[in-house]
Structures are given as structure tokens and as C-alpha cells.
Structure 1
């Protein structure tokens, strides 16, 4: 299964506590809000989708999904993540001795950067075909990272990974319709 990224504009905030403690905080994901991935394809994150990851994974906070640009991590307690009724909230403690991290902090503080994302592998999802298109619900997201992003979306990257999921779902749906039709036809013969 392909790793996915989900993006949105957040209300990131900076906070200074004491002389050297600086934080960036905000929601990395919001529950039950559909996002149109591409025309006629929608996705939403269900409440509870992050519960296992929060308990079991050592999740990193990255800048622009760059694994070489780690801002914090849950194992070192420099990244705090929690789930509430609204979504996945996080707070990363910025290292004052890391000039790149301080640059990110300054850009968020000025409002130049306001995008958030998270990287995950779907472990449980439902899909439904409706008149307006295909709707996915991610019920469990094996979350590896959250990111503070310059751009809240990279459609060319997302479409490639999600297009494969869309094709698999279409084939699954087509096969199910064949099975249902076969059962109906067998019922008529009896």
C-alpha cells in the first residue's frame, strides 16, 4: 500500500514559554471533513483513525515531509500529539540551537507558512459510490509523520498515489456488481 499525504491549511500558532522554549502548535488533521482529492473523488478521516498510531508509533514532525528535516518526535517528547473531538492536534518544541528550525518558527510566526499535513498508510477504510463520485473514509491511519508545509497541497504527487487506490476501488466495485448480478441470475433460474 502506498504512503499517502493529506494536506490542509491550519491555524498554526507559535508560542514562547520562558526565555528559550518555543513551540509550533495546531491541528494536523481534522475529522469528518471531506476533501476533494480530484474531480469526483473525496476522502475524510474518521474519528478514532489515529488512536493506534498515537499509542504505538514514534511519530516525527517534519518540515515539508523531508525526513532529513526533523523538528521533533514523540519518543524524545519534543512532539506532543493528541486527539480530541475536532482532530489530531500537535505541538512541537523548537530547538533554539537549530537555525533551520528557528527559521521555520519565524515563518509560521509571520504567517508565511500555514499548511499542515500528515503521512500515513491506510489500514482500514471504507468507500462508497454516490451520484457525485467516490467517497473514501479512512477509519485507521498508520501515521508515521506530521508535517508543517509551505504549500498545503501537492496535487501531482497525491494524484499518482491515490489514482492507484481509485483504480483498485473501481475494480473492486465492478467485481462486486458482477457477483451480485450472478446471484440474481442464479436466483431467477431456480
Structure 2
């Protein structure tokens, strides 16, 4: 099964700080153990430690999920990511470019009101005994963090496919369990037939 890329948006505004060499954007791209309603389809939380392995990769900071508008990169040292007790913390040294200056102005004015991140889930747990179902994200592969003007989880279409995948996996597991049960009964019946003939 291929991993789908998902995005989630957090409605917490980043902070803009002046540094000796320019401007830095700081804040959280994700918060742990904070339930989020994903379009009414399910409730999702991210476990502490979900990003630990992902932080070893080369991750970019971009604008509005546009990979052509890079404003920081872990590989270049212009984006720093870390996990703490609250969530996925970031620091971006904004470039002295049109995009960097535009982001700074938009944050100051309050036009940009959130952060988002693009990821694939590599380990998760579903609880389908509740309505809506509960999804706990335990580990991700992280591709990007994004400054965005549209907080509050607007992009759930890929995430809905993830729920469908989980339901398909559960149906396959149920069929396999049923098949295994039938096979066991057939073997037991065959063994009884052999014994009764002996």
C-alpha cells in the first residue's frame, strides 16, 4: 500500500522576531494530544514523539503548500525543527527575498494566521468503536511545514482516503480471519473423518 500525503493546518499564528541578521518566524507547526475534527469524518490526535524520526530528513518551509516558494530548509540550516512537550516547534530564518519579506509583512498584519504541515503516516491506531472514529497518529514522515492564511483543517480529501484505506485493511483482516476459521474447521472435520475411518 502506498503512503498518501496529507496536510493539516493549525490555527496558531507564528511569531515574527527581529534578529541581528534579519527576521525569524517561530511557533508550532503541530501540537500533540490536541483533538482535531477532520471534516466530520474522524477525530485525530498526534502522539508526542510522532516526528522524532522525521526530523532527521531534509524538510522545507514553504508558503501555502507551494513547493516553489521555499523560505527555509533544514539541510541549509535556515529551518530548525524540534519536538518538545507541546508539539513540533520551528524557527525559520526568513530570507531577504520577495517571499521572505511578504511573509514577514503578512504575519505582522495578521493576514497569515496559521501553520500547516505535509506528511505521510507511517504508524497509526484507529478506534472505530466511536462515532466519529478516532485516529491516533504515532509516527510520520514529514515533508514540509507551511505558513498559511487558511487555518482550521480545510484540506481533508487525502485524509479521507486514509480512512478508506484503514476500513479496507480492516475488511481484509476480517475476511482473512474468517477464512482462517473456516480452514481450521475443515481441517478438524477432515481429522475427525480420518479417525472415524480408522
- TM-score of the superposed pair, with normalisation by structure 2: 0.84
Per-residue CA deviations over 1:10-50 (Å, capped at 9, x if unaligned) read 131100023x4201110000001121112241211111110
Corresponding residue for residue 151 of structure 2: 152
| 1:148/1:51 CA distance change after superposition, 3 Å | same
1:25-174 equivalences under 5 Å are 25-54=26-55, 56-96=56-96, 98-153=97-152, 155=154, 157-159=155-157, 161-174=158-171
Q: How many residues align structurally?
A: 184
Task: Specify the structure having the higher radius of gyration (Cα).
Answer: 2
Structure 1 stretches lacking a partner, 5+ long:
none
Write the distance in 2 (CA, Å) between the matches of 1:62 and 1:32.
Answer: 25
Higher-strand-fraction structure: 1
Write the distance in 2 (CA, Å) between the matches of 1:112 and 1:21.
Answer: 20
Write the distance in 1 (CA, Å) between the matches of 2:177 and 2:103.
Answer: 54
Deviation (angstroms), 1:158: 2.2
Q: Report SS of the residue matched to 1:49.
A: coil
Per-residue CA deviations over 1:97-126 (Å, capped at 9, x if unaligned) read x02210111110121112111111111111
Write the distance in 2 (CA, Å) between the matches of 1:94 and 1:39.
Answer: 36
Q: Report SS of the residue matched to 1:75.
A: helix
Write the distance in 2 (CA, Å) between the matches of 1:49 and 1:139.
Answer: 5
- TM-score of the superposed pair, with normalisation by structure 1: 0.87
